[in-house]
């Protein structure tokens, strides 16, 4: 390995390959976010409903997910899902892993949003004689979710950065693309720097946009 020099021609030549990685990273973030938003809402309902055995079990599950590394959770899913007869692709495993991990955080966000609503909202719904379902879907959830949108946005930004972990379970996302180029060409400076720069630009800009809405409260693995 020779000394360092930055080769612009080489840097340009690898951009198309990295762009393919970007597409995978973005789709993984979108899929993982969708899953985290839905699962988190389910955990929140179970939490709020106070069902015997089920609610404590979900509470423990959520604490467990929050207390352990995402990397190992991904490894576990990657090696265990097939033995359960679920032969899903590495990419799908990654999306499931991200969605599960971050659902533990979205659950807490939804709960805070619901509990921070003024009690008058509940009383008004009761006074108006709204059916329970309408009270939730028409009054409580829209306000609660609107109030926590910036925090949910922060979850998406955190997840975007964490998608780099999917490279460890053979998903060819951005970081894995950069590493593959490095291993093929024995040049690591350009690919890894571009990868880092891309993550930085996207998450810095989105975080800035979100910060104008709310203070940051990020999640890391």
Q: Draw the binding track, 194-213, toward another protein (x: CB under 8 A; -: no contact).
A: -xxx-xx--xx--x------
Q: Which is nearer to another protein, 149 or 179 (CB)?
A: 179
Q: And the tokens for 149? A: 């949108």
Closest CA to 37 of 148, 134, 178, 181: 148
Q: Positive or negative CA dihedral for 119, 122, 128, 129?
A: negative
Residue 20 or 123 having the CB closest to another protein: 123
Q: Does residue 70 bind another protein (CB under 8 A)?
A: yes
Residues 17 to 56 in contact with another protein, rule: CB under 8 A: 45, 47-51, 55-56
7 near another protein, judged by CB under 8 A: no
Q: Is 86 in the site for another protein (CB under 8 A)?
A: no
Any idea what the Cα angle at residue 76 is, between residues 71 and 80, rounded to 5°? 155
The CA distance from 51 to 43, in Å, is: 12
**Which structure tokens are listed for 97?**
């892993």
Structure tokens at 205: 């800009």
CB under 8 A, 24+ apart: contacts of 63-72 = 63/104, 65/100, 65/101, 65/103, 65/104, 66/104, 66/105, 69/221, 70/97, 70/98, 70/101, 70/162, 70/165, 70/221, 71/165, 71/168, 71/221
> What is the nearest approach in angstroms of another protein to the Cβ of residue 169?
11
User: Is position 193 an interface residue for another protein (rule: CB under 8 A)?
Assistant: yes
Closest approach of another protein to the CB of residue 23, in Å: 17
Which is nearer to another protein, 1 or 9 (by Cβ)? 1
- Contact residues toward another protein (CB under 8 A) are 1, 3-4, 45, 47-51, 55-56, 59-60, 63-64, 67-73, 75-76, 79-80, 83, 114-115, 119, 122, 125-126, 131-133, 135-136, 140, 161-165, 167-168, 175, 179, 182, 188-189, 192-193, 195-197, 199-200, 203-204, 207, 216, 218, 220-221
């Amino acid at each position: 390995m020779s000394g360092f020099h930055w080769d612009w021609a080489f840097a340009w030549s690898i951009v198309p390959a990295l762009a393919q990685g970007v597409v995978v990273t973005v789709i993984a973030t979108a899929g993982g976010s969708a899953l985290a938003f839905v699962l988190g809402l389910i955990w929140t309902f179970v939490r709020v409903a106070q069902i015997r055995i089920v609610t404590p079990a979900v509470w423990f599950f959520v604490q467990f997910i929050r207390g352990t590394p995402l990397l190992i959770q991904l490894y576990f899913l990657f090696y265990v899902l097939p033995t359960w007869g679920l032969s899903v692709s590495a990419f799908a495993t990654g999306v499931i892993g991200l969605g599960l991990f971050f659902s533990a955080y979205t659950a807490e966000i939804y709960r805070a949003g619901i509990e921070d609503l003024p009690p008058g909202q509940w009383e008004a719904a009761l006074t108006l004689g709204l059916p329970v379902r309408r009270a939730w879907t028409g009054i409580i959830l829209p306000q609660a979710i609107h109030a926590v949108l910036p925090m949910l946005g922060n979850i998406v930004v955190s997840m975007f950065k964490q998608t780099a972990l999917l490279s460890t379970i053979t998903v060819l996302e951005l970081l894995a693309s950069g590493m593959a180029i490095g291993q093929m060409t024995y040049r690591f400076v350009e690919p890894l720097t571009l990868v880092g720069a891309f993550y930085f630009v996207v998450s810095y800009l989105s975080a800035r946009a979100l910060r104008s809405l709310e203070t940051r409260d990020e999640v890391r693995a």
